[in-house]
Amino acid sequence: MKVRFLALGLLIVGMLAGYFVYPRWGIPESLNVPFRLGLDLKGGIHLIYRADLSQIESGQRGEALEGLRDVIERRVNFFGVSEPVVRTERAVDEDRLSVQLAGIFDTATAIRLIGETPYLEFKKINPDVATSTLESNPLAGWDSTELTGRYLKTAAMEFDQTTGVPSISITFDDDGSKIFENLTAENIGKPIAIFLDGIPISAPTVQAKITGGSAQITGNFTRDEALTLARRLNSGALPVPIALISQEQIEPSRGAEALSRSFFAGLVGFGVIVLFMILWYRLPGLLAVFALGIYISLSLAIFKVIPVTLTNAGIAGVILSIGMAVDANVLIFERLKEELRRGRTLTTAIEEGFNRAWTSVRDSNTSSLITSLILWYFGTDAVKGFALTLGLGIIVSMFTAIVVTRTFLRATHGRKYEAGRVPFLYGSGFRLH
């Protein structure tokens, strides 16, 4: 009786997962989570930038590239671009930055938001240049310093609690804090100019030595001016200059067509598997189909919760993992047949069949998981999507094959069948028993 309650519980869990995946009636808004679709399914923009690391020491280039990725990701999020995919790549002896903006189709706006060559730097006055020169030509008379956008963590607009006057707070990382402290100590009473793409956007005067890595830029700012300056600082906090070298726009119709084809391929594959399992393995095959339905519901629910960005390659991984889930059941049912042919009772044959098949299922799925991890670690974007969905699918398929299918078999068979008296529903293939 307990095993039947457990089987019923597994069915309910599968149904709830399926409802979460495809909600229809009265689901709370907080649970109505959409799937995250990749660029090839949703459409959007793919931009590729070249990163100029010529001024970065070789030992710090990896860190600079990661900083570049983090800043660009923060930038597109800051301007309201949802679900960006920002990755660094190495191609033909140059470092590149790949930016995928699913659901965004205004290429010009995207380029403007990201910036083709945004570069933030802090400069001090050249003591050999006269003040009159600075006033007549803002671009002249400034010397570069070590402090650049690579050290800037955040910039935000704040309001004075007493006067309500807006200001901009800036915060540097640990290395930037030390550089900023030395820079302010050497330039008390002098301005430090902030340049974005070679153009000065602010030149606040240093009032005192600043420690701790946090400072305020004050002045007669309006709210809009302060907000604009904060945005410019955030958008320009790049550790290295970048240049746009490639852009591609994928129309929504192409993405919708690709999604439709992938969905159709999944349905056809699932339908063929269902027919084969039921016709060849009869009742165990039917129970495996129910377990497979639970597997699909759980897998898709996990993809929603994590969330996993689904691409064409990722859907291919899902479909392949369905086949691997069925493969585990096939191994188990073939073992079950062998035990029945040896004269075992149905109860004993089920237990022995699962026990004997477990090592094969474990070893084959473990090797596939290792392959998925290698592909995910070393692969390109498309390969990573395939490896992630395949790996997650393998883990869930092992659970459904070993736990769910086994529980269903235990719950549906009676214990009265003795050796040689197994009914037709527990046979297989074209045999009548």
Domains detected in the chain: 2-34+251-426 (1.20.1640.10), 44-248 (3.30.1360.200)
User: Averaged over 50-70, what is the pLDDT?
Assistant: 77
Per the DSSP assignment, residues forming a β-bridge with 294 are: none
The residue type found at 62 is G
- Of the two residues 30 and 379, the one the predictor is more confident about is 379
Strand order in the sheet with 214-217: 152-159, 166-172, 214-217
Compute φ and ψ for 37, nearest 5 degrees. Answer: -95, 140
Taking 50 as the threshold, does the pLDDT of residue 273 lie above it?
yes
CA dihedral 320, 322, 326, 328 (to 10 degrees): 70
**For residue 209, what pLDDT band results from cuts at 50, 70 and 90?**
very high
Over 60: is that where the pLDDT of 355 sits?
yes
pLDDT for residue 157: 87
Q: Supply 75's token pair.
A: 């930038």
Element (H, E) at 124: strand 120-125
Residue with the larger pLDDT of the pair 11 and 91: 11
The radius of gyration of the chain from alpha carbons, rounded to an integer in Å, stands at: 31
Q: Minimal CA–CA distance to 7: which of 301, 391, 410?
A: 410
Mean pLDDT over 221-248 rounds to: 78
DSSP lists the bridge partners of residue 192 as 124
pTM listed for this prediction: 0.63
Q: Which two tokens stand for residue 122?
A: 């802090």
What is the percentage of the chain residues whose pLDDT exceeds 70?
A: 85
Beta strands, E only, 258-327: 309-310
